[in-house]
Amino acid sequence: MRKGLLIDWGGVLTTDVFASFAAFCGREGLPADRVATLFRTDPAARDLLAGLESGTISTPEFETSFGVLLRVRPTGLLRRLTADIRPDPVMREAVLRARLGGVRTGLVSNSWGPGGYTDLADLFDGVVLSGTVGVRKPDPAIYALGAAAIGLTPGECVFVDDLGGNLKPARALGMATVRHTHATDTLRALDALLGLDLSGAAARIAPGAAGSDRVGLGGAAFDRAGGDGVGPVRAGLSGVGSDGAGGDGVGPVRAGLGGAGPDRAGTDDTGPDRANLDLPGPARSGLDLGDST
């Protein structure tokens, strides 16, 4: 059984990021797929996304330049793009239960500017945000940082993402991978990989009970007490329910790329992927947007 669970934010612990993009387009009078199409096919948009997620482009810079490409008002553009994203209570409860069950849990997310993450201290032993560490999925280094942030090797971890292109590098490092499409299927796969009954616990949560609190895809880690994460990787958070005041990992975590050979159990990155931004070139976007690049 695997000892650690590394998980994406946008589109896994939240509702569909691309649905939020489509809703934004509807409000702005644009074709529903305009944002997704730009991120997939337009070199300038892809460069802007890569810069935002790696922390080399500020939020105002991104909004100004991407607003020009979309021909919309730039002020508050990130907020408007993500306005329809909500927490997924089933997946969040599953992560909490995994942690209570002795599994080390970590967030590995391509972040979009400051703010937007909630309950990090409750859910995770370690947090790796692309805009803080300066590397983004699908770069193999960010997966190694994620494993190190929870004190494990890559071969001891499961990684969950909604984009197939973000799973391949994790699997190459020895992680088991799960392609998230629906909580029911994801939790069944995690039950087998972690030796827990997450799907049984999740069944007691009302289907479709998406959280009402808006969450974003931001970069800086904020716990419920309002404190920001110290250092690029928040590792060693204190126990479940803590406010994150103790045990923060200060400074970047450096990890090797070792680990056991590939374990394909629970993988599902084949077939068509409407949201996959697995594009040619070294700076392919993972758009988990919170890395729903």
Per-residue pLDDT tens over the stretch 216-251 = 565 333 223 233 332 333 333 333 333 333 333 323
Tell me which of 36-50, 70-84, 193-207 is least confident: 193-207
**Confidence band of 213 (pLDDT split at 50, 70, 90):** low
In the numeric block, the tokens 């020009």 are attached to: 68
Task: With residue 159 as reference, give the H or E element that holds it.
Answer: strand 157-161
Tell me which of 20-24, 203-207, 250-254 is least confident: 250-254
The CB-side HSE value for 152 (13 A sphere, CA atoms) comes to 25
Give the separation between CA 244 and CA 289, rounded to whole angstroms.
24
**Confidence band of 200 (pLDDT split at 50, 70, 90):** confident
How far apart, in Å, do the first and last CA atoms of the chain sit? 29
Tell me which of 38-52, 163-177, 233-247 is least confident: 233-247
The token duo for 40 is: 């997939």
Give the separation between CA 281 and CA 269, rounded to whole angstroms.
19
Its pTM stands at: 0.75
**Confidence band of 120 (pLDDT split at 50, 70, 90):** very high
Give the separation between CA 43 and CA 39, rounded to whole angstroms.
8
In the numeric block, the tokens 């599994």 are attached to: 103
193: Cα separation from own chain's centroid: 20
Contact 153, 6 (CB under 8 A): no
Per-residue pLDDT tens over the stretch 146-156 = 999 999 999 99
The token duo for 95 is: 């992560």
Give the separation between CA 194 and CA 209, rounded to whole angstroms.
25
Give the separation between CA 64 and CA 66, rounded to whole angstroms.
6
- pLDDT of 22 over the 80 cut: yes
In the numeric block, the tokens 């919170």 are attached to: 290
| Superfamily of structural domain 4-16+85-235 | HAD superfamily/HAD-like (3.40.50.1000)
What are the extents of the domains in the chain? 4-16+85-235
- What mean pLDDT is reported for the chain? 78
